[in-house]
Amino acid sequence: MSTSSGKSVPPEITQAILRRLPVKSLGRFKSVSKTWNSLISDPHFIKTHLRQTRKLIVGSGTSLYSIDMNQLLPYLNINTNDIPVTGKVLNFRSPPIQWVEILGTCMGLVLARDDDDTIFLMNPTTQVLWKLPVSPFALPVEDDKFLGKWRAKFFVRYGFGYDSANDDFKVVSISFWNPESGLDPECTDTFVRVYSLRNNSWSKLPNSRYDHGTFYAVSGALVNQNYHWLVSRSTIVGFSFTEEEFSEIRLPGSIEKAGFFDVVDMNGKLGVFVGVVEVGFELWVMEEYGVSESWRCMVSYNGFGSPVRPVCLVEGSNRDIVFEDLGRVLVYNIDQRRCRNVRMVGGPRRLPVGLGGTCYVETLESPKPPHALSSRDIGAFSNLCKSKLTGWYLGAKKLLSKE
């Protein structure tokens, strides 16, 4: 980059400037020069560029919305029951996908599944989508006119994270038979499979010895490059995406009699949300990862009439928590013990969180394998094949006409 005096700006200064720009601007600046394009596309630059402003992705059916969490900040100290926000509609493909569940997020990428149980990786910022291949190790699918789809036959839980040692995004699936289906009542194994984005393939791991089917556990959470699930009223297990092994974390003994549990990521700290329907809830946070003695109760509240789920702390405030509650998004202040409704201006009356809301950060990271062909590449290859076939056809026709 050159200045008006003709002198070049040092590369490290150029990188520092570009690193502070939003993803949308960087996309435009790729065309400035080959040097800038190379820099912005560099994997190291992409990793260090991660924008720390959190955004909330919510949706229901075919609709997905992205909401900048910074919009909440001006209202935190204002006496109002509603917090108005604007949301960006995310359009990934046409015809639209019927989304069923948001499964997790890591470094700006989001894992989700549709109504056909197809798993997708997406980048909400660049709106690029990648469909994962079906695992060759998946449990067999057998439809049943009474039980319906395979969901009645077995259950699958997913975790999504990053393997920093191998620079690879991975998806882990934990699957087990539904004992009530009668399909394989003698089998109590819990099968573990891992998808590597770098290799675009699934691998088989040894079965898990833990009970991942606990009925009172709702979901899991990614913290410290490990994905966590509750496997009993006293134990959380974490799956390391680097070591591809499980480890145990003990829960505080005082919460073992809770009615429902949810393992959550509280802005980089492992949290567990526990409660009793029609009574209230507690939110516990582990201050030092892996140290059971560091659990502390962050919130204790009586008042919600139904199970809710914490999504994250509001950025810039460690006293305001974003909750999801049966189709609503709420902001709860710990000190005031007060909830306020988040309302999307120009959108649905209630924020659509039927899929489960989650937070992500902006990134340039691609959700596709390194060697995946783009739609432009596929189109060019298709046109080349068509032209070659046309040429061969015309040549053969010409030869035949001479005979």
Q: pLDDT of 166-194, one tens digit each?
A: 999 999 999 887 666 555 555 667 889 99
pLDDT value of residue 214: 67
**C-beta of residue 163 within 8 angstroms of C-beta of residue 180:** no
pLDDT value of residue 180: 60
pLDDT digits (tens, 9 = 90+) for 244-279: 999 999 998 777 767 777 899 998 999 998 876 667
Boundaries of domain holding 315: 50-368
pLDDT at residue 23 is higher than 70: no
Structure-block tokens of residue 401: 């006409």
Is there a single domain that holds both residue 62 and residue 22? no
pLDDT digits (tens, 9 = 90+) for 365-375: 888 887 664 44
**C-beta of residue 271 within 8 angstroms of C-beta of residue 218:** no
In a domain, 128, yes or no: yes
Is there a single domain that holds both residue 292 and residue 351? yes
Is there a single domain that holds both residue 186 and residue 213? yes
Is there a single domain that holds both residue 45 and residue 108? no
| Burial group, residue 94, by CB count within 10 angstroms (0-12, 13-18, 19+) | exposed
d(CA 373, CA 133): 15
Residue that has been written with the tokens 């087990």 in this structure? 176
Nearest to 1 by CA among 9, 27, 20, 18: 9
pLDDT value of residue 238: 96
Is there a single domain that holds both residue 129 and residue 104? yes
In a domain, 401, yes or no: no
pLDDT at residue 110 is higher than 60: yes
* Between residues 182 and 380, the one the model is more confident about: 182
CB burial string 213-240: b at 16+ within 10 A, e below = beeebbbbbbbbbbbbbbbbbeebbbbb
In a domain, 187, yes or no: yes
Is there a single domain that holds both residue 5 and residue 149? no
d(CA 338, CA 400): 85
Q: For residue 61, which amino acid is it?
A: G
Nearest to 170 by CA among 139, 219, 135: 135
**C-beta of residue 158 within 8 angstroms of C-beta of residue 111:** yes
Is pTM beyond 0.85? Reply is no
d(CA 49, CA 107): 11
Residue that has been written with the tokens 């008042």 in this structure? 303
Is there a single domain that holds both residue 116 and residue 15? no
The region of weakest confidence among 98-102, 106-110, 293-297, 372-376 is 372-376
The region of weakest confidence among 52-56, 148-152, 363-367 is 148-152
Is there a single domain that holds both residue 31 and residue 1? yes
Q: What average pLDDT does the segment 228-232 reach?
A: 90
CATH number of the domain to which 137 belongs: 2.120.10.80
Considering 46-60, 69-83, 314-328, the range whose residues carry the highest mean pLDDT is 69-83
The count of domains in the chain is 2
**C-beta of residue 93 within 8 angstroms of C-beta of residue 129:** yes
In a domain, 387, yes or no: no
| Burial group, residue 40, by CB count within 10 angstroms (0-12, 13-18, 19+) | buried
Is there a single domain that holds both residue 201 and residue 163? yes
Q: Which of 49, 66, 87 is the last residue of a domain?
A: 49
Structure-block tokens of residue 32: 């400035």
**Cα–Cα separations (whole angstroms), residue 163 to 225, 240, 243:** 7, 8, 9
In a domain, 373, yes or no: no
pLDDT at residue 377 is higher than 60: no
In a domain, 272, yes or no: yes
Q: What average pLDDT does the segment 198-215 reach?
A: 87
- Which residues, other chains included, contact 21 with Cβ-Cβ below 8 Å and sequence gap of 6+? 29
Residue that has been written with the tokens 């006409």 in this structure? 401
* Between residues 241 and 22, the one the model is more confident about: 241
At 60, is the pLDDT very low, low, confident or very high (cuts 50, 70, 90)?
confident
Q: Is the peptide bond before 140 cis (omega within 30 degrees of 0)?
A: no
Is there a single domain that holds both residue 239 and residue 295? yes
pLDDT digits (tens, 9 = 90+) for 382-393: 454 455 455 554
d(CA 66, CA 51): 15
pLDDT value of residue 105: 93
